[in-house]
Amino acid sequence: EPQTATGAVGLAAAAASRRQWPEALRLYRHAHSLHPDRIDVTLGLAMAFGQVERLDAAHTLAATVLAELPYCLKARWILVRVAARQGPSQAAREHLRVARSLDPDDLYAWRWFGVPGESPPTPQATLPAWNEQENWLY
């Protein structure tokens, strides 16, 4: 096992990027034991738990992050994905509403949960004030 959190996180992130979720879970657990206060490690561990169908653990960790950082997009999306497997609820709808307000084009959701080979969504969001200013310039 890597002796530093940086080494463990790097190896865990590499395993996750290759979608080797059992290995990522093992490495994120180790990193979390070294530095349980690191939000990135907690989110990586939550995501790995979700990918290996340990939904209660994924939910608990993501909810812990959300209690500290209410607008953490990744924690919201993890909770939405867990809820999609466990069944709809009012809480799941609220997490989805907030996640969509933070990521209206689902670009981060695609980056974190997209299917390999799938094209990213086409951005549709606009900034009306910017568009008005831009038109004024021309």
Q: How far is the CA of 132 from the CAs of 105, 112, 122, 123, in angstroms?
A: 21, 33, 22, 19
Which pTM does this prediction carry? Answer: 0.74
Residue ranges making up the domain that contains 94? 5-137
Cβ(78)–Cβ(46) under 8 Å?
A: yes
Q: What is the pLDDT of residues 67-109, one digit of tens each?
A: 999 888 889 889 988 988 887 778 878 877 787 777 766 666 6
Q: Which amino acid is located at 134 in the chain?
A: E
Q: What is the pLDDT of residues 25-56, one digit of tens each?
A: 999 999 999 889 999 999 999 999 999 999 99
- Which residues touch 57 (CB under 8 Å, ≥6 apart)? 46, 49
Nearest to 65 by CA among 83, 81, 78: 78
Q: Which residue has the higher pLDDT, 106 or 62?
A: 62
| Count of structural domains within the chain | 1
Q: Which residues of 16-55 are buried (b: 16+ CB within 10 A; e: fewer)?
A: beeebbebbbbbbbbbbebeeeeebbbbbbbbbbbbeebb
What pLDDT, on a 0 to 100 scale, did the predictor assign at position 49? 97
Q: What is the CATH number of the domain that holds 61?
A: 1.25.40.10
